[in-house]
Amino acid sequence: MTFNSLWESILDVGRDAATGGYRRFAWTTADLTLREWFAGEAQRRGMSVEEDRNGNVWAWWLPANCLGDPTGAFVTGSHLDSVPGGGAFDGPLGIVSAFAAIDLLVTRGVVPRIPVAVVAFSDEEGGRFGVACVGSQLSTGAVRPERALKLRDADGTTLAEALTAAGRDPAHLGPDPELTKRVGVYVELHVEQGRALDLVDKPIAVASAIWPHGRWQFTFCGQANHAGTTRLVDRRDPMLAFAATVRAARDRATTNAAVATFGKLTVTPNGANAIPSRVHAWLDARAADEATLAAMVEAIAADSAGYADDDGVSLSVEVESVSPAVVFPEEPRARIVRALSALGEVPVLPTAAGHDAGVLSEKVPTAMLFVRNPTGVSHSPDEYAEIADCRRGAEALAEVMADWVAR
């Protein structure tokens, strides 16, 4: 099957006809359709399909002499779910490329000496239940099943209820110590979520690290009052301190060569003719190392406290989540770079986006390949990659796979 036909076979699933954006939330019809598609592609290749206790789906290509449970496998894949209004490439490109890479090996007559698996990790984006990488985090034990099962979507449905509705048993969720035995190496191919490759005019990169990142909640409290009749000097308006904080976050990000974003807020009472009593906002901050990230967030909080003081409003800052830095290990990275030597110099780049490969890196050797994204746009219907680059990505993955499984 050609890369193009494989790619096109899922383009309509979960796509909004008006915006072109994808909504493939975990355990919804779109997700279940993609899981069926995955199983069908696996069966078409003679691979056996297995859903693990946390809803991650595995397709196995086993060497003829493989007896019993596969161990030490070369595993590649990504995720099939999306953010709300997401793009076509984030996640599915890694899965389509994995099947395409297997096809290339079969065409070349490569017979694997070790097990090969394609995996689709469940609920990577957290678009529905608010926590990212739930499938892989449950498997590694980073998220406890009791916490995961209570997560609710916007309609109030819990993950436990969603699993039951999809015919799965929520009682199965939990750590999967078998993972470390089964997976010899995990290599995830992903569309780049930035313009680093475009800026150096290269189609493929290997990941060096994932930046540490986190979310902090800033709550500014003042006094609700009439927008028309309250004298400026009498106001305690929390929006002012918040607005100044947005700018401060940007300035601190600039000086730290980092990123800091306020992308979500709730305003109380949220009336057009009312001075707000409360502004509750989420800071997403990411930096090259943990010390820089901590110092930057501390500086933004200090700036913010100063503005709050000036305006007579109170401020509280609470950490919601922090993901530590992931440095992908020298091996398998060096081996992958060598396997790709025919492509010339392959850039080795960090990313500021989280991935299942980062979660798994605590338990097994992991690595990532990135495919050029000419505009850098991601988590948007405008996310794009040239099909020629996608094919190069699948070929690169095939080189890495062949190098690994034929040794």
User: What residues numbered 35-94 form the site for Zn ion, per CB under 5 A?
Assistant: 90-91
CB 261 → Zn ion: shortest distance, Å? 18
Instruction: Tell me if 240 sits within 8 A of 381, measured CB to CB.
Output: no
CA 248 distance to own-chain centroid? 27
Identify which of residues 28 and 304 has a Cβ nearer to Zn ion in the complex.
Answer: 28
CB 34 → Zn ion: shortest distance, Å? 14
Nearest to 343 by CA among 395, 304, 305: 395
Identify which of residues 61 and 121 has a Cβ nearer to Zn ion in the complex.
Answer: 121
Identify which of residues 41 and 90 has a Cβ nearer to Zn ion in the complex.
Answer: 90
CB 5 → Zn ion: shortest distance, Å? 23
Identify which of residues 90 and 123 has a Cβ nearer to Zn ion in the complex.
Answer: 90
User: What residues numbered 89-148 form the site for Zn ion, per CB under 5 A?
Assistant: 90-91
Identify which of residues 90 and 103 has a Cβ nearer to Zn ion in the complex.
Answer: 90
Torsion angle defined by CA atoms of residues 180, 209, 194 and 399, in that order, rounded to the nearest 10 degrees: -60
Backbone angles phi, psi at 43, to 5 degrees: -65, -40
Nearest to 274 by CA among 223, 224, 222, 219: 224
Position 27: which residue type? W
Identify which of residues 235 and 355 has a Cβ nearer to Zn ion in the complex.
Answer: 355
CB 328 → Zn ion: shortest distance, Å? 16
Identify which of residues 55 and 91 has a Cβ nearer to Zn ion in the complex.
Answer: 91
CB 210 → Zn ion: shortest distance, Å? 12
Contacts with Zn ion by CB under 5 A: the residue count is 2
Instruction: Tell me if 122 sits within 8 A of 111, measured CB to CB.
Output: no
In sequence order, the 6+-apart residues with CB closer than 8 A to the CB of 21 are 15, 84, 85, 86, 87, 380, 381
Q: Percentage helix, strand, coil, to 5, in the chain?
A: 35, 25, 40
Nearest to 390 by CA among 88, 23, 171: 88
Instruction: Tell me if 383 sits within 8 A of 86, measured CB to CB.
Output: yes
Identify which of residues 70 and 92 has a Cβ nearer to Zn ion in the complex.
Answer: 92
Distance, CA of 201 to CA of 37 (rounded, Å): 34
> In the stretch 305-344, what mask flags binding to Zn ion with x, by CB under 5 A?
----------------------------------------
CB 380 → Zn ion: shortest distance, Å? 13
User: Looking at the DSSP assignment, which residues form a beta bridge with residue 275?
Assistant: 225
Instruction: Tell me if 49 sits within 8 A of 43, measured CB to CB.
Output: yes
CB 133 → Zn ion: shortest distance, Å? 9
Instruction: Tell me if 300 sits within 8 A of 245, measured CB to CB.
Output: yes
Identify which of residues 26 and 405 has a Cβ nearer to Zn ion in the complex.
Answer: 26
CB 31 → Zn ion: shortest distance, Å? 14
CB 370 → Zn ion: shortest distance, Å? 11
Q: Tally the C-alpha atoms within 13 A of residue 201's C-alpha that lie toward its C-beta.
A: 0
Q: What does the binding site for Zn ion look like in residue numbers (CB under 5 A)? A: 90-91
